[in-house]
Amino acid sequence: MDIRRSLSNHAGPRRSPHEVLRRLAERITPDTTADGPVRELEARVAGLLGKRKALFFPSGTMAQQTALRVHAERRGRVAFAGHPQSHLHVWENQGYSVVHGLRFHPVGDRNALLTLRDLQTVKEPLAAVVFELPQRDIGGQLPSLRDLAEQTSWVRSAGAAAHCDGARIWEAQTGYEATLPELAGLFDTVYVSLYKGLEGVRGAVLAGDAETIEHAEVRRRRLGGAIVDAWPLAAIALMGLDENLERMPEFKAHAQALAKAINDDGFAHTTPRTPQTPLFHVHLPMSQQEAQRAAENLAEETGIKLFLYARSNPDPGRCSVEVSVGIPALEFTPREVAELIRGLPSRV
């Protein structure tokens, strides 16, 4: 299927191998060495987050499991806690347990943000608590800075590490009156993704203090993740840091304009009603299968990809979809998006 425009930052012509290669060709010069872009990326991310050291990983899945394993080994504890809809719990086939022998405590309500009281219900000593910013599966909601500071300081005073799933920390920062180093400073370790808001191909970076990251480097080698010459992944991510980072507030403003048009139209509604970051969810009065079919037909007929996939809802007559605003979504006016969404039932 020929996708010509995409509302999702994860799809569309800018992600095609040909376009990525074209952009990469601008960055790679005769002086580029095989390990240069990775080293540069690690230094850039450490600097941006105000951390001592950072380490490239082929995936966020490997980076986060490694971070948790290191926190566990250094504390002699095997349990960690996080939101019930944490990526580690929902999407990684229990890798933390099968590969690393760790135990996960899902805490709090799956449709709400974590609270300090939720964390305090866990009675087993924890190696770490994972904080996902923003909490993707509940529409990209963000805890207040005050709540986050209170929770992370409680976690640390209990002898556990505060780990940030910052796959979208660049996007999350737009929702705070705090700089990236101030935000990252609340956590012992922060993982960032290279292919979400930064529009890279794949890859992740884990940042923290020197001792933790050196320990993580040993684990990374054992897992087969020590690919220091991953220059194409690093180079395209560096372009994302150069070009996309300063545009995050613009992406958030456009997300808010899209959400307002959708809510004003009234056929669907968004969570949050006013997005706190460039990511939000749209709740549709259609079943998951209907929405999926309508989106496929829309793509077939117009070349427009409206969303990646529809998420089911306890009410089988409803579903939700994610919108992540980046450069591709700027091509869509708020009115056009509201009309495309309203028109979905006619495409089933």
CB of 265 to ligand PLP, least distance (A): 28
Asked if residues 310 and 291 have their Cβ atoms less than 8 Å apart, the reply is yes
Name which of 3, 19, 5, 20 is nearest 236 in CA terms. 20
158 or 228: whose CB is closer to ligand PLP?
228
CB of 140 to ligand PLP, least distance (A): 10
CB of 93 to ligand PLP, least distance (A): 12
The distance between the two most distant Cα atoms of the chain, rounded to a whole number of Å, is 58
3-state per-residue secondary structure call for 21-38? HHHHHHHCCCCCCCCHHH
* 30 cis-preceded (ω within 30 degrees of 0): no
Q: Which of residues 279-318 bind ligand PLP (CB under 6 A)?
A: none
CB of 295 to ligand PLP, least distance (A): 19
CB of 99 to ligand PLP, least distance (A): 13
271 or 302: whose CB is closer to ligand PLP?
271
CB of 65 to ligand PLP, least distance (A): 9
Contact residues for 338 (Cβ-Cβ < 8 A; gap 6+): 258, 261, 262, 264, 265, 267
CB of 123 to ligand PLP, least distance (A): 27
Query: Total residues contacting ligand PLP (rule CB under 6 A)?
Result: 10
167 or 338: whose CB is closer to ligand PLP?
167
168 or 347: whose CB is closer to ligand PLP?
168
* Single residue of 167, 183, 205, 259 touching ligand PLP by CB under 6 A: 167
44 binds ligand PLP, rule: CB under 6 A: no
68 or 286: whose CB is closer to ligand PLP?
68
Could you tell me the two tokens for 45?
A: 């991310």
59 or 115: whose CB is closer to ligand PLP?
59
Task: Give the x/- contact pattern for ligand PLP in 119-148, rule: CB under 6 A.
Answer: -------------x---x------------
* Cα dihedral across residues 283, 289, 290, 293: positive or negative: positive
CB of 319 to ligand PLP, least distance (A): 19
> How far is 33 from 235, CA to CA, in rounded Å?
11
CB of 268 to ligand PLP, least distance (A): 23
10 or 74: whose CB is closer to ligand PLP?
10
CB atoms within 10 A of CB 237: 31
DSSP letters of 197-227? Answer: TT--SS-EEEEE-HHHHHHHHHHHHHTT---
> How far is 260 from 257, CA to CA, in rounded Å?
5
* Single residue of 204, 213, 268, 286 touching ligand PLP by CB under 6 A: 204
Q: Which of residues 48-107 bind ligand PLP (CB under 6 A)?
A: 59-61, 87
Burial grade of 22 (CB within 10 A; 0-12, 13-18, 19 or more): exposed
Name the residue whose CB lies closest to ligand PLP.
60
> How far is 234 from 206, CA to CA, in rounded Å?
13
Question: At how many degrees (to 10) do helices 248-265 and 334-342 cross?
Answer: 40
* Single residue of 9, 66, 141, 193 touching ligand PLP by CB under 6 A: 193
Contact residues for 215 (Cβ-Cβ < 8 A; gap 6+): 70, 73, 74
* Single residue of 165, 171, 290, 322 touching ligand PLP by CB under 6 A: 165
Positions that interact with ligand PLP (CB under 6 A)? 59-61, 87, 132, 136, 165, 167, 193, 204
